[in-house]
Structure 1
Amino acid sequence: MVFTPDALAMVSAATLAFSLLTYILLDGTDLGVGIWLGMTSDPADRHRLTLSILPIWDANETWLVLLLGGMLALFPAAYSAFLTAALVPAIIMVMALVMRGAAVEFRQVAKRPWLCDAAIFAGSLIAALFQGILFGTVIQGIPGSAAAPESGVWCTPFTLFSGGVLVALYLLMGAGWLIWRLAGELSRVFRRRAAWLGVLTLLLCTAFLLWLRHLNPQYAARWQDMPVWLTFAALLLVMALIFYQVLHHRLTMLPLMTILLATTLVFLALALTLFPQLLPPRFTLFNSAAPPATQGFVLVGYGLVIPFTLFYNTYVFSVFRGKIRRQPYG
């Protein structure tokens, strides 16, 4: 099959979007658990929370590596402009992820596990916040063709609000994960937390989408297609109603699955709003794509790596699918 340059650019963008969405759904859940760790006072309960993500956190971060590596190879001009403008939050996010990962691994042999717990909490919270800021920077765009790292283009009310929204979303996803993975009273605690957090996250996401509409004329024009957006709103409302119906269901995986589906729906709404812009206002999918030969080469590699990574993620979830019950600790 022979693709035109524009069609190849769209395939490349779809591949990166899939990597980004998968990262948000998987590692976002882990980061949410890490943030909850800092709000849990009992050392034995913190130990259970850590055990729930210990086998899977590193595999989940593979999707971030695929995303950043693919962005560099497939859309180098947009990658360069974005990383130059957002160098500070990008470095902070990476350092936070490294701190979180090291603390999760060393916690099992640490003489003072509470120090590792504090590092997991801080790393997870900082990483989630700055991922939201970076995501908001992409949506907001970069004035002109580039911006210097010291310009502060990444630090605006919209990007900071984006960071807060993503923290709330990750907390909700983490609560859904813990409802599924934990047994006993702690699982019921997170059911109660998820109940009020679901309302808060829905309100924040609604405010985010409404704010998004006023960022630039293209976004406003795209939102003029009312039947499409009313359909998205209706589907999101249906997902919210389903979530509260299944929150106390005996199949404890259902709340998490509902949250992930709703997150996917919001992600699709954002992608539809941005298309075909990649980094507004200058960079689109078509004017910032690498040469077709480069895209073809990289996409072949993606075609080999993505199925393997999905299999590995699924296999790990299958091996460690049991409930984590309270046990003697210390």
Structure 2
Amino acid sequence: MDGVHKRYGEKRALDGLDLAVGSGTVHGVLGPNGAGKTTAVRIMSTLLRHDAGRVTVAGLDVRERAGEVRRRIGLLGQHAAVDEQLGGRQNLEMFGRLYHLGARRAGSRADELLERFGLADTGRKAVKQYSGGMRRRLDLAASLITDPDVLFLDEPTTGLDPRGRTEVWDAVRSLVGGGTTVLLTTQYLEEADQLADRISLIDGGRAVAEGTPDELKALVGGDRIDVVLRDASRLVEAAALLGGADLVLDADRRRIGAPAPDRMAALARTVRVLEEAGIEAEDIAVRRPTLDEVFLSLTGQPAGEQRTEKKAKAEKAEVAA
């Protein structure tokens, strides 16, 4: 996507969005609700026409060669597309026939995908009897019925429990290992951290940051060391002994936080200083910034929070002030 714009009446959904996805990778797209993630996916998958800018998928212009693009892509939306009354195999066969594969090829492709996603033993069972993770894996299998070069996953694990989410993650990893290019939109920051080679953070319809997960985390500072004391009354004393700039004290949690530019040296020094002073620590850990902190730093709101017009105007007023 290059400078893409899209409006719905007075609402600006995309405002010059730039997005480049490397072949054979997982590219994550993060943003608050209303940031433009789903609009971008709908444009790239030819379901929606953009107002301005240029969009190419698999080297094809989505406006000029929409039919060819559709034959090269798969799409897994936020809501299940499978029929709960049919069996898993019947669903995949139906999708194959809709893609004009022919009865024999649709059946063989259904068997291949059921085996690939660990659903072969349940292929004849009605989908309404599937767990959430199984249903989502079947949905993912249906999006691959034509063996697409590019797969769009629009918040694929919303509503799944941790086990179901892990099942989908494993399936996505196997796809990328086979050469599929995946564009993933999600509000689960752990999901992007686990799966994405690169991440674009969008807000207000435009990209505000892009890079690997580690590169994005570096935007909000380096590693930090967190110390939790057993005795809250010694918090100030311990902070004075540890010294340094940018110390953060949390009396309620008996915690001291400090920058740790040299991870192991900072850890060793902290343990030594506390032991020499006879101050007991309940926990000491060196950690990197999280994507949650990056998200909050760059958008001013937690992941998943709705970005309303009122809030947007308030943010602009604060910047102007």
Tell me which structure has the larger Cα radius of gyration: 2
TM (norm. structure 1) is 0.26
Structure holding more strand per residue: 2
TM (norm. structure 2) is 0.26
Comparing both chains, which one has the higher relative contact order based on Cα–Cα distances under 8 Å and sequence gaps of 6 or more?
1
